[in-house]
């Protein structure tokens, strides 16, 4: 006797993290849905990317929804209507989650949900702004009975640090990577991490240990003092002091 219980596959997603991880995750979601629910797809393309541009409240020329409809029509080809995924880059709307144009756009997406499914991409370097924007999307969708699942790229900061080290030809000990990962998870800009790594490599060579960070933080001439506000520098020192108190003897080999 067969199992009559229906399998639930979430159809809409918010992906928080870095762009590289988001792309791979979005591709996996679409492939799985195509295999499980082929009826959800129709047209020349299974999906298409769309950068949802910001328009200020006083700007009367909000044309993003017409542009989206035009892009969907191209993806539909000879079909009457595109059916599939729209991969929406929402990063222009970070810190603008309460604005009316965004609300208007989300209600339009709700109206089109019979045909379209959505994967919203949100960079989470600014954790507070990312959560607020994700929360706005969820509130509109759930208020209209459309489920949407949030997936966080827990290793996104780790991935970005590994990429920075590789691009600069730097070998970091595990504690150094963990330190920089924590900085980025605490909201420090990636450019700050890149500048720190570069300055440390100049003074200590291409193989970096926690001592390299401690020495740099003690250097009154370090560029870090000019790139951070006093409040940010105090937070930087607090994170460093916390990690200085840990024993890294077994992990420091580079």
**Rounded distance, CA 47 to CA 30, Å?**
8
pLDDT, position 247 = 47
pLDDT, position 187 = 75
Given a cut of 50, the residues of the chain with pLDDT beneath it are: 1-8, 247, 250
pLDDT, position 254 = 53
* Per-residue pLDDT reduced to its tens digit, 86-126: 999 999 999 999 999 999 999 999 999 999 999 999 998 78
For the chain, the distance separating the N- and C-terminal CA atoms, rounded to the nearest angstrom, is: 59
pLDDT, position 126 = 83
Q: How far is CA 216 from CA 79, 202, 223, 246, in A?
A: 61, 11, 9, 18
pLDDT, position 193 = 86
* Of the candidates 92, 95, 162, the residue with the CA atom closest to the CA atom of residue 127: 95
Q: How far is CA 127 from CA 95, 111, 152, 184, 225, in A?
A: 11, 29, 11, 10, 24
pLDDT, position 2 = 43
Residue 53: which H helix or E strand, with range? none
């Amino acid at each position: 006797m067969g199992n009559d219980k229906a399998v639930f596959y979430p159809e809409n997603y918010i992906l928080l993290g870095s762009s590289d991880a988001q792309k791979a995750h979005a591709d996996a979601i679409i492939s799985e849905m195509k295999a499980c629910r082929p009826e959800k797809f129709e047209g020349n393309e299974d999906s298409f990317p769309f950068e949802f541009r910001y328009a200020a409240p006083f700007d009367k020329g909000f044309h993003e929804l017409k542009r989206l409809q035009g892009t969907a029509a191209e993806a539909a080809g000879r079909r009457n209507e595109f059916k599939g995924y729209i991969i929406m880059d929402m990063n222009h709307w970070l810190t603008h989650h309460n604005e009316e144009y965004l609300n208007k756009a989300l209600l339009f997406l709700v109206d089109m949900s019979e045909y379209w499914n959505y994967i919203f991409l949100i960079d989470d370097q600014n954790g507070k702004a990312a959560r607020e924007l994700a929360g706005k999307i969820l509130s509109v969708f759930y208020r209209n009975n459309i489920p949407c699942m949030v997936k966080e790229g827990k290793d996104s900061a780790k991935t970005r640090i590994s990429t920075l080290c590789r691009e600069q030809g730097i070998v970091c000990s595990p504690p150094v990577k963990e330190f920089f990962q924590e900085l980025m998870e605490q909201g420090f800009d990636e450019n700050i991490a890149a500048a720190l790594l570069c300055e440390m490599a100049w003074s200590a060579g291409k193989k970096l240990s926690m001592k390299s960070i401690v020495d740099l933080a003690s250097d009154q001439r370090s560029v870090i003092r000019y790139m951070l506000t006093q409040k940010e520098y105090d937070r930087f020192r607090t994170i460093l002091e916390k990690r200085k108190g840990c024993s890294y003897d077994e992990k420091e080999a580079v």
